[in-house]
Amino acid sequence: MSAIAEEARSRPTQAPTPLPSAGLAPPAVVVRELVKRYPARGARQEPVVANDRLSFDIRRGEIFGLLGPNGAGKTTLVMQLMGLLPPTSGHLQLEHVDVVRDPQAAKELIGFLPQGGLALNYVEVERALHYTGRLRGQGEQDAILQAKQLIEELGLGDYRNQFVNLLSGGMARLVGFGMALMGRPRLLVLDEPTNELDPHRRRLVWDYIQRLNREQGVTCLLVTHNVLEAEQVIQRLAVMDKGRIIALGTPEEIKHQAGGRLRLELQLKEDARLTAEEQERLAAYGALSEVRPQHYRLQLAPERSGPTSAAVLQELGERVESLRLARPSLEEVYLELDRTRAETPAAPESLPPVPAPPPGPTTPSWRRFAVALKYLFLEHLLEVRHTWVWNTVFSILMPVAMVFGLSRIGSGLEDRTSLLYIVSGAAVFSVATEGLLTTAQRVGLMRQDGRLIYYASLPINQSSFVSSIILSRVLIIFPGILTPILAGWLLYGIRLEISPWLAVLVPLSALSFSALGMALGSLIRDLDLVVTITNAIISVLLLAAPVFIPMESLPRPLQLLGQVLPPTYAAEALRLALDGQTGSRFLLDVAVLAVVTALSFVGVSRWMRWRLD
């Protein structure tokens, strides 16, 4: 163990003195006795304590660093702070908001840059910034103005019309930083903000953070592994390990906690080396290490720096190329901290009361829902631009091929009833493929690449998010419903009734399948399992469900199966409508589809894993 760690270990544990309130900004973030415990699962026999009695404050207008190795509990702490993960116990307060009681209100105060995937990455850079601002509650003109301003200030002018997902990793990271700034949040939570950035843009980000802090008093929580860079901007920091805080204070205070030693850098001339006896004598002054040939480092107590420097020069004389005293960097101290103690420093004893929300106009909930629905719908719809050609080809060719191919089975079908079954079955199969299968896999992919977490971090509710995806799929599904109807008419001259009920049935079928697909994608965690289950469902529809053939033609077990599958009712309703039979049986089918849509929508909106618990 190093001398710094040894000396820190030998001193009695002292908790930081509670900071006096005079002259200091009030806390923007208050954490008291926060515990997050994950239950034992699978092969894991013991519960995992990710955060263990954490207590600290972040002052308003402060740049606060959160350092620690992987698995230290930093991400868990950040997710709780943003209301995405409920704590097992403890108190979290952000400005005037009790985060545990009102996580949605906390999200309105936070701008978040995750380390993982970003949402809105299939639209242009300027549109991504604009939409983020609107989703964060900005007015239209204010969002447009700030988006243009950030594009200029962050040097994104040449990329404003490029799709975010086609940018390099560094440029996409810079766009994500801009998205975190939209809406002018009170607290910035930045997780490794300079990853993949070149030195010039890395400096730009740090300068921008400092300017926001200096000119606008923005509070910043910086989560990073890059201690060397962080030391230049952070004002206070907490070092975490194994779920606890092992050091808390300013960079200078952390260095003092670790021993407050100085570093004597000794560079010898070429071909000069220290003998074993000389190394032994120097080691008597402090911890000696050979950094590289001819370069030695000696850790010293400050009061011994003068005598040691004089002794080195006297003993080594002309062999010394250079001799330099320096204070240890924060990175060196961070690496030297004794992580075996993991003693959580005590926080200020008093718990600031949660004040009333600041006065000001509040946007009605229905209006916030409508705005979020509009911009999320546009984003999901614009995402299809990358694949619209293939979607269109698939939506046309597959139903036409099914109508043409299935009608050629055996000696070929000539009767109207059989052709109606084929036309309606092909339409429903197309809807199920695009609505159920594609939607389920898309939502599963969002969870896997981290985009779902980013959506959840925005101050939008689940209902607007769910509605936007379902409604965007409806427009994509339409060609798959209409194409087989046209194919039946053009290829075989089958006479079809164009009932006004089709204007209800067609979107309702698309809605019901999309809602089911989203329910599957949101409830099943494993993407591979989502793919397996949705493909199995599609196979059942094609081979076993009464979609292409009458119910009575199936064995009894398959009839029972068909009665619990929504596609059965969609196919029958479409067939009856095209045949002009919109009586009680048709209305019953429509009612079943409406109930399935409503239950799926409500279920996804309430139980989708919007939070990480």
What are 249's strand-pairing partners? 237
Provide the pLDDT for residue 1: 33
Residues 243 and 292 both lie in one domain = no
* Residue among 67, 373, 55 at smallest CA distance from 221: 67
Would the pLDDT of 228 be above 60? yes
Confidence of residue 129 (pLDDT cuts 50, 70, 90): very high
- Predicted pLDDT at 113: 93
DSSP 352-387: ---PPPPP-----HHHHHHHHHHHHHHHHHHHGGGT
Nearest to 227 by CA among 208, 254, 245, 207: 254
Task: Give the per-residue pLDDT at 149.
Answer: 95
- Residue 188 belongs to a domain: yes
Q: Percent of the chain, pLDDT > 70?
A: 82
Residue 19, pLDDT above cutoff 50: no
Spatial separation of the C-alpha atoms in residues 148 and 156, rounded to whole Å: 9
- Note the pLDDT tens digit of each residue in 361-397: 566 788 888 999 999 999 988 887 776 667 667 667 7
pLDDT of residue 36: 93
Q: What single-letter DSSP state applies at residue 118?
A: -
**161's tokens:** 């019309």
Mean pLDDT of 598-603: 83
Residue 312 binned pLDDT confidence (cut-offs 50, 70, 90) = confident
pLDDT score of 332 more than 70? no
Q: What is the pLDDT of residue 259?
A: 59
The highest-confidence range among 102-106, 130-134, 452-456, 533-537, by mean pLDDT, is 130-134
| Spatial CB neighbours of 488, under 8 Å, sequence gap ≥ 6 | 403, 419, 420, 422, 423, 494, 496
Q: How confident is the model at residue 537 (pLDDT cuts 50, 70, 90)?
A: confident
Confidence category of residue 267, pLDDT binned at 50, 70, 90: confident
Q: Is 60 exceeded by the pLDDT of residue 333? A: yes
User: What pLDDT score does 412 carry?
Assistant: 56
CA dist 568 and 562 (Å) reads 6
48 & 90 share domain = yes
* Residue 188 reports pLDDT greater than 60: yes
Please check whether residue 76 is in contact with residue 36, taking contact to mean a CB–CB distance below 8 angstroms.
Answer: yes
The bridge status of strand 262-268 relative to strand 320-326 is antiparallel
Which has more confidence, 125 or 603?
Answer: 125
CA distances from residue 277 to 51, 137, 282 in whole angstroms, order as listed = 49, 70, 9
Q: Which residue has the higher pLDDT, 288 or 420?
A: 420
pLDDT tens by residue, 45-96: 678 888 999 999 999 999 999 988 888 889 899 999 999 999 999 999 998 8
Looking at the structure, tell me whether residues 191 and 306 fall in a common domain.
Answer: no
Q: Which helix (H) or strand (E) holds 582?
A: none
What one-character DSSP code corresponds to residue 124? B
Where is the domain boundary, 237, 256, 275? Answer: 256
The Cα 118–Cα 607 span in angstroms is: 23
- Tell me 87's DSSP state: -
pLDDT score for 17: 33
* Residue 329 pLDDT grade (very low, low, confident, very high; cuts 50, 70, 90): low
Interacting residues of 301 by C-beta distance below 8 A, sequence separation 6+: 260, 261, 262, 286
- 8 A C-beta contact, residue 328 and residue 320: no
382: exposed, middle or buried (C-beta count within 10 Å: 0-12, 13-18, 19+)? middle
- Between the alpha carbon of residue 302 and those of residues 3, 183, 261, 286, 310, the distances in Å are 14, 48, 6, 11, 14
Q: Flag whether pLDDT at 548 surpasses 70.
A: yes
pLDDT at 5: 34
Between 509 and 41, whose confidence is greater? 509
Give the pLDDT of residue 494.
79
Contact predicate 309/323, CB 8 Å = yes
Q: Please indicate, yes or no, if residue 198 is contained in any of the structural domains.
A: yes
Considering the domain architecture, whether residues 217 and 270 belong to the same structural domain is answered as no
Higher pLDDT, 485 or 210: 210
Q: Which amino acid is at 332?
A: E
Q: What is the DSSP letter of 157?
A: G
Q: Are residues 191 and 46 in the same domain?
A: yes
| Cα 326 to Cα 245, 262, 336, 493, distances in angstroms | 27, 6, 16, 90
pLDDT in tens, 3-15: 333 333 333 333 3
Indicate whether 235 and 282 sit together in one domain.
Answer: no
Give yes or no: residues 217 and 73 share one domain: yes
Question: Tokens 């008419």, residue?
Answer: 489
Let me know if residue 602 belongs to a domain. yes
| Contact call for residues 442 and 388 (beta carbons, < 8 A) | no
pLDDT at position 190, please? 94
Tell whether 10 is covered by a domain: no
| 153 lies in some domain | yes
Cβ neighbors of 510 (< 8 A, separation 6 or more) are 431, 435, 473, 474, 477, 478, 481
Say if residue 16's pLDDT is above 60.
no
pLDDT for 10 equals 37
25-29, 327-331, 390-394 — which one is most confidently predicted on average? 25-29
Quote the number of domains for the chain. Answer: 3
* pLDDT reading at 342 higher than 80: no
186 in the same domain as 56: yes
Handedness of CA 206, 30, 132, 86 (dihedral sign): positive
- 326, 347, 378: which is the final residue of a domain? 326
Q: By residue range, what is the domain housing residue 39? A: 20-256
Do 320 and 298 lie in one domain? The reply is yes
Q: What is the average per-residue pLDDT within 312-320?
A: 76
- For the segment 139-149, the average pLDDT, to the nearest whole number, is 95
Same domain? For 126 and 177 the reply is yes
Task: Tell me the H-state helices in 498-565.
Answer: 502-523, 527-543, 556-562
Give the per-residue pLDDT at 408: 62
In a domain, 348, yes or no: no
Do 100 and 222 have their domain in common? yes
The two three-digit tokens of residue 301, written as one number: 């107590």
Report CA Rg, the chain.
Answer: 32
pLDDT at 174 (0 to 100):
94
> In the predicted model, what is the mean pLDDT of the chain?
80
Alpha helices in 258-325 (DSSP H): 276-283, 305-316
Q: Which of 256, 283, 316 is the last residue of a domain?
A: 256
pTM: 0.79
